[in-house]
Chains A and B, each alone.
Chain A
């Protein structure tokens, strides 16, 4: 209905795009007015959106359940950290490292994909879960005999993004506006997100996208129709992983510090929840899911404590506990009432309703 109206009025469509663009440009300043924390939260939310879009290729398009996806985020983050920190005293520029990180993560994607080609569903989930843990344990233990990852202490003093004299973590004033570090990163993240969305949209309606969908529908028939299922599945793993790698590199630069703790199983599950809750296979749904699951817990974190104090005069339950309780409840309700996600792809909707 809405789409039909938009098609009949291309002017309305362009107006909509301009309005959304203006809102996205103004957003960090509005958030900064509330507190710089919220700009940081927004940046993390975009990082998780990138991760969700990457995972969506593997889970949503190709139908391969991956519970260890955060490992690729970690691989990207460590690649950046090792090539731009005092750890080895290597300081490469970010536009060199990010592609390297994407490539390394992509290779890890193939490493995970190759032995699991014949697995599906539950079995694949278990193996990918194990893979995620193995990678994290490597981060934790690659401090001896040669110190590579610095073990559980993690790597600190990671270089921020720099372009010549322009550094992304310093505030500057332009046109009378204060551009803080997080705000600069926000714009960069937004550009990367835009690129990733375009890439995803174009892949979806391509020969490769159809091949992924065919494999998801019926792998045997896809093979008989001449699709090299090995090739196409590995491609999905590699593509998904490389998006994770890029997000990881940006995460390392923005935080300036990483440790294995950032890449635990719960994070994988969180990203998967974003994809499932938003609507597997639909880019807009996935983005919605990622933003919601990034923001709602933060909003709860900032409201639960004051609310309890005003109601009972003291804090009865720790905010963290309530946050997870409400989060769990929300997920259960979602799966009961909107099993295909908040904004499902047309295909998923049909699968679950017919």
Chain B
């Protein structure tokens, strides 16, 4: 197995606050890699640095064999990393299908002139966008809701729509920020099947998740963050027994 993403000493400071301190980790191709830790441990900050929303204070990412240029979010998406958001960020007043069609933007070309002249190439591309978007809705099980507005979908469906939209960008790495948050047991089970299927179809997954059962059952390896530092990494069962992890989650012995 080869490495897909390698973080090398990523630090992020907000003024005096050190949100991330020298995080290094390596994610292999085809694995589901979990990122866990108590609230405020820096998980989402790491996501935001990785996907170009904040610049790292120091350190860099190597992705797919090349240094990752993380100046702007769209460049990260182009390199092959797609993300979802902890507090869902869909295009609320667009239909489910249109949301996924937007995800096809960076893998398609049509510009103003093509659109205005409706050239054969543009029409074909538009048809391909439509077909691919619909196929992805089927893939996540939302095809019957293709014309529903994103904001009118039930919570669990919105989460899956966000995943479909991210998949539309053809990512090599799918980064999910708490995809099971707020889901009931049935929805979580469906989500788990979906994530396993996405991995089986060849996409590596980086997962922030609070649902311990989901993380332990799904992830090949997990890293534990606490106060911006990586305190443990390994197979879920090993990490579960790690003394530092138990202390971070349950608190230290009172002095």
Interface set, chain B 73-120, CB cutoff 8 A to A: 73-74, 76-78, 82-83, 85, 89-94, 98, 101-108, 110-112, 114-116, 118
B44 at the interface (CB under 8 A from A): no
B91 and A218 within 8 A (CB): yes
B94 and A217 within 8 A (CB): yes
B196 at the interface (CB under 8 A from A): no
A260 at the interface (CB under 8 A from B): no
Set B77, B92, B101, B129: member contacting A226, Cβ < 8 A: B77
Nearest CB on B from A332, distance (A)? 26
Which B residues fall within an 8 A CB radius of A? 51-53, 72-74, 76-78, 82-83, 85, 89-94, 98, 101-108, 110-112, 114-116, 118, 122, 125-126, 129, 149, 165-166, 168-169
11 A-B interface contacts by CB (under 8 A): A202-B115, A207-B129, A210-B101, A210-B105, A217-B93, A218-B91, A221-B89, A224-B53, A225-B106, A226-B82, A239-B112
A8 at the interface (CB under 8 A from B): no
A199 at the interface (CB under 8 A from B): yes
A217 and B115 within 8 A (CB): no
B94 and A214 within 8 A (CB): yes
A209 at the interface (CB under 8 A from B): yes
Contacts of B89 in A (CB 8 A): 218, 220-221, 224
Interface set, chain A 174-231, CB cutoff 8 A to B: 198-199, 202-203, 206-211, 213-214, 217-218, 220-230
B93 and A351 within 8 A (CB): yes
Set B73, B122, B168: member contacting A224, Cβ < 8 A: B73
Summed over the interface, the residue pairs from A and B with CB atoms below 8 Å come to a total of 107
Measured CA separation A221–B111 after assembly (Å): 21
Nearest CB on A from B75, distance (A)? 8
Contacts of A198 in B (CB 8 A): 116
Q: Which residue of B lies closest to A217 (CB)?
A: B91
Measured CA separation A12–B67 after assembly (Å): 61
A227 and B106 within 8 A (CB): yes
A214-B102, A226-B74, A350-B149 known; A207+B92 contact, CB < 8 A: no
A206-B122, A210-B98, A211-B105 known; A224+B116 contact, CB < 8 A: no
B165 and A203 within 8 A (CB): no
B105 and A225 within 8 A (CB): yes
- A221, A225, A228, A350 — which one has the most chain B CB atoms within 10 A of its CB? A225
Seed contacts A207-B125, A223-B74, A224-B89; 9 additional CB < 8 Å A-B pairs: A203-B115, A206-B114, A207-B105, A207-B110, A210-B102, A213-B91, A214-B102, A224-B76, A225-B103
Contacts of A221 in B (CB 8 A): 85, 89-91
- A198, A199, A221, A226 — which one has the most chain B CB atoms within 10 A of its CB? A226
B111 and A225 within 8 A (CB): no
Measured CA separation A220–B92 after assembly (Å): 13
A207 and B103 within 8 A (CB): no
Contacts of B94 in A (CB 8 A): 210, 213-214, 217, 347
A225 and B112 within 8 A (CB): no
Nearest CB on A from B145, distance (A)? 16
A235 at the interface (CB under 8 A from B): yes
Measured CA separation A50–B91 after assembly (Å): 29
Set B82, B116, B125: member contacting A202, Cβ < 8 A: B116
Contacts of B118 in A (CB 8 A): 202
Contacts of A213 in B (CB 8 A): 91, 94, 98, 102
B102 and A224 within 8 A (CB): no
Contacts of B73 in A (CB 8 A): 220, 223-224
Q: Which residue of A lies closest to B152 (CB)?
A: A354
9 shortest A-B CB distances, which residue pairs?
A: A226-B106, A226-B77, A206-B115, A217-B91, A223-B73, A221-B89, A207-B110, A214-B102, A347-B93
Contacts of A224 in B (CB 8 A): 51, 53, 73-74, 76-77, 82-83, 85, 89
B110 and A350 within 8 A (CB): no
A208-B112, A227-B102 known; A214+B169 contact, CB < 8 A: no
Contacts of A206 in B (CB 8 A): 110, 114-115, 122, 126
Contacts of B82 in A (CB 8 A): 224-226
B78 and A226 within 8 A (CB): yes
A225 and B169 within 8 A (CB): yes
A225 and B165 within 8 A (CB): yes
Q: Which residue of A lies closest to B169 (CB)?
A: A226
Mark interface residues in A235-250 (1 if CB within 8 Å of B CB, else 0): 1000100000000000
Contacts of B74 in A (CB 8 A): 223-224, 226-229
Measured CA separation A214–B92 after assembly (Å): 9
Set A209, A225, A227, A350: member contacting B115, Cβ < 8 A: A209
Set A218, A227, A235, A350: member contacting B105, Cβ < 8 A: A227
Measured CA separation A220–B84 after assembly (Å): 11
A203 and B105 within 8 A (CB): no
Mark interface residues in A15-43 (1 if CB within 8 Å of B CB, else 0): 00000000000000000000000000000
Nearest CB on B from A308, distance (A)? 47
- A198, A214, A227, A235 — which one has the most chain B CB atoms within 10 A of its CB? A214
Nearest CB on B from A61, distance (A)? 12
Mark interface residues in A260-295 (1 if CB within 8 Å of B CB, else 0): 000000000000000000000000000000000000
Q: Which residue of B lies closest to A195 (CB)?
A: B116
Mark interface residues in A93-109 (1 if CB within 8 Å of B CB, else 0): 00000000000000000
- A224, A227, A235, A347 — which one has the most chain B CB atoms within 10 A of its CB? A224
